Each structure stands twice: as C-alpha cells, then as structure tokens.
Amino acid sequence: MIDPDGFRPNVGIVLMHEDGRVFWARRVRRDGWQFPQGGINTDETPLEAMFRELNEETGLHAGQVEVLGSTPGWLRYRLPSHAVRRQERLVCIGQKQVWFLLRFCGSDTDFRLDLTDSPEFDDWRWVDFWYPQEHVVPFKRGVYARALAHLAPFARAVAGLAAVPIPQQCTLPPIPGFVRRS
C-alpha cells in the first residue's frame, strides 16, 4: 500500500533492554544494521503491524515485551533515487512510520531470526540507546534521530538518565565581529 504522496505506511521498532541498550540487527546479505521495521497491511492498525513485524523479524511475541511509548504521528524518510522502483504501478518514494519503544522482558535466547522463509536479519547485538542514529544508513539518520528523541523520555523513565543521556546540543563557534543584541 502506497499513500497518494508516494510513502509506504510502516512501523519502526526500538526494542530496549532494561539497562537502556537497544536491539540492533544486521540485514541478511548486507553489511547494513538497523532497527526492525515493516509495512502496515491494509487490515492492520500500526500496533497490530508492530507485533506482527516483531514476531517475523525477531521471533518475539507480545508477552515478551511491554509497549512504553510511540511517536504521535508519521515520521517520513525518502529513499535514495537508486532505490526507488519506478517500474511499479504505484511508485514508492519513501516510508512513513509510526515508531514504538518496547521494553524487552525476556531472555536473549528468546530471539529467533529464522522464523520466516525470508529472514530480514542474520545477526544482532545490544547497543547504546543513541548509537543507531549515527550508524544506520545515511538516508534513515534523520528519521532515527527524530524517533529516538521522541522515545527517549519513555526510555529514561525505565533505564534512567545515565543509560539514556540527554544529547549535547551542537554549539557553533562564535562568528568574529558578531555581537548578539538582547
């Protein structure tokens, strides 16, 4: 399903360990790492799609996680031009996503990346909360930064400020000769 603007409805999943680290997975036959994500079927709510994708991509089920929060609306990213399939009837130029933060309540041995005929991932690890926004493919960095920034307060409520610190603001060097007037 593609919306009239060319975006595919999708869910993104930030699966968090009790200590604030997040699940980071490597795409099959690629060197790219990302969070679990996937399309929303026409007969699904975003929450239903999230639980389906969680099971398909990680082997986890609803009883092994707790939903801590979600983004209030769609976060969009555009695909790079080489990834846009222009020969399709409906051209998808990107994804619009609702992101969910889940607390993982199981054991590392619960993960099963091979439950489907076409697994998405072949490896995974726990990483610091903010690590993914700098290490995902460049065209997804903006949406990852926005999703993590929105979900961080929910994560801090569980893992604490030390595990999910407030990012430092970028400070620019002063402009020579510029005087700020108040």
Give the whole-angstrom CA distance, residue 32 versus residue 104.
23
Mean confidence (pLDDT) of the chain: 91
Residue 180: its pLDDT value, please? 53
As a whole number of angstroms, the distance between CA 34 and CA 136 comes to 6
Of all residues in the chain, what percent carry a pLDDT higher than 70? 91
The residue ranges of every structural domain in the chain are 7-159
For domain 7-159, the question of CATH label 3.90.79.10 is answered with: yes
Q: What is the pLDDT of residue 1?
A: 85
Give the three-class secondary structure for 33. strand
**Closest of 73, 66, 58, 60 to residue 11, by C-alpha:** 73
Kindly report the length of the chain. Answer: 182
> In the predicted model, is pLDDT for residue 176 greater than 70?
no
How far apart are the C-alpha atoms of 144 and 14, rounded to whole Å? 10
pLDDT of 175 reads: 55
pLDDT in tens, 122-156: 999 999 999 999 999 999 999 999 999 999 999 99
Q: Which two tokens stand for residue 125?
A: 């690890």
CA dist 73 to 9, 33, 129, 135, Å?
Answer: 11, 24, 21, 24
